[in-house]
Chain A
Amino acid sequence: MPASDSRVNTPRLSRQQYLDLYYYMRLNREVEETMTRLFRQNKIVGGLYSSLGQEAISVGTAYALEKRDWLAPMIRNIGALLVKGVPPRDIFTQHMAKYTSPTKGKDGTSHFGDLENLHIISPISMLGDLIPVLTGVAMAGRYLGQKIVAMTWIGDGGSSTGVFHEGLNLAASQKAALVVVLENNLWAYSTPVGRQVPLENLADRAKAYGIQSYIVDGNDVVAVYSTAKEAVERARSGGGPILIEAKTFRRRGHAQHDPAEYVPPAQRAYWEKRDPIALYEKFLTEEKILDPKGKKETDEQLTALLEKEREFAENSPMPPPELAGEGVYCTGPACHDLQPKWERPIDELLPPKSCVEPVWTVEGFGHGKGATGRDAPIHFGDTQAKPVASVKVSSGTSAVSVKKGAKKKSARGRVRQ
């Protein structure tokens, strides 16, 4: 809901950009609705995980990336894959375990990737593991001289894993061009966020790593996009990793089997009124970007596309049984010829040169309370103590009133050789 205050802070997008965001959110939803029907027809082999009501986050964040950038989705980020260029048939065939799917039926859901063209890394079901992997992607990108950004997503639940912290801390210490989107959808399966984390804003986790964070209304696609765009460019220009907390709500259960009866009806009713697509349609109509004719055209375009893609998937074969035993190992250059895409002179990296400053350290060692109860400045020994008057950083405001994200100052870092 781009309310007036957020539009003040939000750069105007081009008409095409507004319409792109609309198209991809609609595509995201229609792809998932098609799969819900397929699931009820017993054509989906495994589970089906819905991102209903969270489309603005997947679409708005991925839309801020460039073609050269890398991403790794979670299970509820089909919208991000669509924005990056994955055709809907890949989503359908993955879920239906077809031989024509990107993994040829070896894995399902959003678990697939493309190293060569789309720059997508496949997720695994263990949450948080993508954060160090994408940190490595960002580090390798910098090393190769590419100006890339790596983006991945994590939930309120996944942000409690150890590897989330290991990954963000390494990213911060390496000043890696990494953007982590924390989708706070209020529920980790049946456990509400308030019983998982003693924090009002999960973006506060960024403080522990001295990195920049934002909080954004996850049901406002323009706000999500604008925040992500700023974060991506900040990361690209060497600002280090960034954590974006997008506040939203998981409208369906953990997966199709889960009726989510544990969700309080009032909470559900509140968020159903904040449907990101309905809010955005209202905005686009008010702004005279979308009219009933345009909406009808989008409807028809999506229906035709998804009909074709669904048919392709349904008519595709299951993988042949002998495939089960193949592909554990790469058999050499005939299987994969791995060549990095250098965008810097290679001789910079051979002895004795090395030009990137990799270590990001904090300036001071802080203060501690002494035996007399007074504040005692401490320093590393080779650095000066900071003045005692430290800046108190506010943790932002509450969820839904924040539209364009409460920017927070990070601990000042510096780069040293």
Chain B
Amino acid sequence: MAPITFLEAIRQAMFEEMAADPRVVLIGEDVGVYGGAFKTSEGLLEQFGWERVIDTPISESAIIGAACGMSYLGLRPIAELQFIDFIACCFNQLTNFVAKGHYLWDAPAPMVVRGPAGGGVHGGPFHSLSPEMYFLHTPGFKIVYPSTPYDAKGLLKASIRDNNPVLFFEHKFLYRRIKEEIPPGDYTVPLGKAIVRREGKHLTLLSYAAMMHTSLEAADALGKEGIEVEVIDLRMLIPLDEETILGSVRKTNKCLVVHEDTKTGGIAGEIAAILSEKAFHDLDGPLVRVASLDTPVPYAPTLEEAFLPNAQKIFTAAKALARF
């Protein structure tokens, strides 16, 4: 098999699920004729027709609401948001309607909300968002944020088959930049499991999405200095794989969290709290965060570069922590 891009992995996951299960439909802006703004749904309309690939008006709340209504009749809609920044437009529909249904009135909403997220592509303040933490604070969602084509395909398939609303964030920086050989045919990656990307004994580095690759780059450089970093890809923020995180930290006794989301209120703070509660005596140093600045995502390349974490920042922070 030839290696495929992250984008193609997403497309294949949707294609295969729709071909196998008529309950699966795709709804969103420009997903049909145009095949999606990033071409993630290219060819789906031709294969599955207007009933299953639904172009909508520019109405994010209506997209989410309609997908939710469809799920109540047993369908498994995939709702695409053209850029994930626009998830703010349907915040109420998601947080008050979709997320609370199962808890309040026993109504599962098996739907996936997916879209391109993240920065590093000079998209500016309204096309670069990392919105995951708004929803981490809303009980009811599962939150997936993969970093490889293999995971993107397997996790998206698992998300479509899950009975809960899943927010599936796709880092647009990865769409065409990374390729991977994936096995032919159907497979899924189970929801809620982190994965060790690189083994090490001196410190644990937790990350996800595009920063996963930046972290691995930094880990290579640290390895050359004799610092063996254990790099863990969280893959999902809800459920968070505490077992893998705690297992690694108990081994290395130090933890660094790297995320592209802004620092204050990012997942690193939550992980710090978990470690403080459950692994306090295993820690030989403070939990260290490498994250974006607490600002909107700026447009100019020089500013965005300063805003985002990079391998150098991770290297410096990890080295200091290793020596702590």
Chain A interface (Cβ < 8 Å from any Cβ of B): 102-103, 106-107, 111-113, 115, 121-122, 124-126, 129-141, 143-144, 150, 162-163, 166-167, 169-170, 173-174, 327-333, 335-336, 338-341, 346, 349-359, 417
Question: With A and B bound together, what is the CA distance between A120 and B16 in angstroms?
Answer: 33
Q: Are A162 and B61 in contact (CB under 8 A)?
A: yes
Asked if A132 and B93 sit within 8 Å, CB to CB, the answer is: yes
Chain B residues 8 to 55 lying within 8 A of chain A, measured CB to CB, are 19, 22-23, 25, 47-52, 54-55
Which of B25, B59, B102 meets A143, CB within 8 Å?
B25
- Nearest residue, chain A, Cβ from B69: A136
- Is B276 interfacial (CB-CB < 8 Å)? no
Dominant SS at the A interface?
loop
- B316 part of interface (Cβ distance < 8 Å): no
Q: How far is the CA of A353 from the CA of B46 in the complex (A)?
A: 10
CB of A347 to closest CB in B, whole Å:
9
CB distance from A328 to the nearest CB of B (A): 5
Residue of B nearest to A349 (CB): B22
Contact A163 B50 (CB under 8 A): no
In the assembled complex, how far is the CB of residue B45 from the closest CB belonging to chain A, in whole angstroms? 9
Structural contact, A170 and B105, CB atoms closer than 8 A: no
Determine the distance from Cα of A174 to Cα of B50 in the docked complex, in whole angstroms. 11
In the complex, the answer to whether A338 meets B105 with C-beta atoms within 8 Å is no
Known: A112-B105, A124-B100, A329-B102. A338 touches B65 (CB 8 A): no
Which residues of B lie under 8 Å from residue A115 when comparing CB positions? 72, 107
Sample of 17 A–B contacts (CB below 8 Å): A103-B106, A111-B105, A122-B104, A125-B96, A132-B63, A132-B65, A132-B66, A136-B69, A139-B70, A163-B93, A167-B65, A328-B103, A330-B102, A330-B108, A338-B108, A340-B23, A354-B48
Please tell me if the beta carbons of A133 and B73 are within 8 angstroms of each other in the complex: no
Query: Which residues on B sit within 8 Å (CB–CB) of A112?
Result: 104-105
User: Taking A133-B97, A341-B74, A354-B52 as contacts, is the C-beta distance between A336 and B163 under 8 angstroms?
Assistant: yes
Cβ–Cβ contact B69 & A139, under 8 A: yes
Which chain A residues lie closer than 8 Å to B73 at the CB level?
137, 140-141, 144, 340-341
With a CB–CB cut-off of 8 A, which chain A residues contact B64? 132
Interface size class of B (residues with CB under 8 A): 35 or more
Give Cα A107 to B74, complex, Å: 24
- Apart from A140-B70, A354-B51, list 12 A-B contacts with CB within 8 A: A124-B96, A129-B93, A139-B69, A143-B75, A144-B73, A144-B75, A150-B69, A166-B57, A170-B59, A328-B103, A330-B163, A350-B19
What residues on B are CB-neighbors of A129 within 8 Å?
61, 65, 92-93, 96-97
Tell me the number of A-to-B contacts counted with CB atoms below 8 Å: 185
> How many angstroms from the CA of A126 to the CA of B64 in the assembled complex?
15
CB-CB under 8 A from A327, the residues of chain B are 102-103, 106
Inter-chain contacts of A162 with B (CB < 8 A): 61
CA distance in complex: A195, B55 (Å): 36
Question: Inside 8 A of A122's CB, which chain B residues have their CB?
Answer: 101, 104-105, 107
- Contact check, B72 vs A137: say whether CB atoms are below 8 A apart: yes
Q: Which A residues are in CB contact (< 8 Å) with B67?
A: 136
Cβ contacts B111-144/A at 8 Å (1 or 0 each): 0000000000000000000000000000110100
Tell yes or no: B298 within 8 A of A by CB: no
Neighbouring A residues of B97 by C-beta, 8 Å: 124, 126, 129, 133
- Which of A132, A173, A358 makes the CB contact (< 8 A) with B61? A132
* Distance in Å: Cβ of A70 to nearest Cβ of chain B: 8
Determine whether the beta carbon of B108 is less than 8 Å from that of A336. Answer: yes
Does the CB pair A169–B51 fall under 8 Å? no
Q: Which of B61, B100, B163 has the most CB of A within 10 A?
A: B61
CA distance A339 to B67 in the complex (A): 16
Instruction: Tell whether A349 pairs with B62 under 8 Å between CB atoms, given A121-B69, A140-B70, A173-B57.
Output: no
A356 surroundings in chain B (CB, below 8 A): 50-51
> Are A103 and B104 in contact, CB atoms less than 8 angstroms apart?
yes
- Bound-state CA distance A199–B51 (Å) is 36
B65 to A107, Cβ gap below 8 A?
no
Residues in A with CB closer than 8 Å to B101 are 122
Q: A169-B57, A351-B47, A354-B48 are in contact. Are A126 and B96 (CB under 8 A)?
A: yes
Given the complex of chains A and B, what is the CA–CA distance between A330 and B191 in angstroms?
Answer: 13
B193 CB, nearest partner CB in chain A, Å: 16
Contact A170/B75 with A107-B105, A329-B140 known, Cβ cut-off 8 Å = no
Which residue from chain B places its CB closest to the CB of A338 in the assembled complex? B74
B87 contacts chain A at the CB level, 8 A cutoff = no
CA–CA, A169 to B163, complex, Å? Answer: 29
A133 vs B92: C-alpha distance when bound (angstroms): 13
Residues of chain B within 8 A of A332, CB atoms compared: 163
B143 to chain A, nearest CB (A): 12
Inter-chain contact B56/A170, CB cutoff 8 Å: yes
What B residues does A349 contact at CB under 8 A? 22, 48-49, 51-52
Taking a contact as CB atoms closer than 8 A, the residue among A102, A133, A170 that contacts B68 in the complex is A133
A338 to B76, CA, bound (A): 10
The answer to whether A136 and B65 touch (CB under 8 A), given A121-B72, A173-B57, is yes
The answer to whether the Cβ of B110 comes within 8 Å of any Cβ in the partner chain is: yes
Which residues of A sit under 8 angstroms from B19, Cβ to Cβ? 350-351
Residues of A within 8 A of B48 (CB): 349, 351, 354
On whether the beta carbons of A132 and B69 are closer than 8 Å, the reply is yes
Does residue B204 face the partner (Cβ distance < 8 Å to A)? no
Q: Which of B57, B106, B107, B140 has the most A CB atoms < 10 Å from its CB?
A: B106
Complex alpha-carbon distance, A350 and B102, angstroms: 30
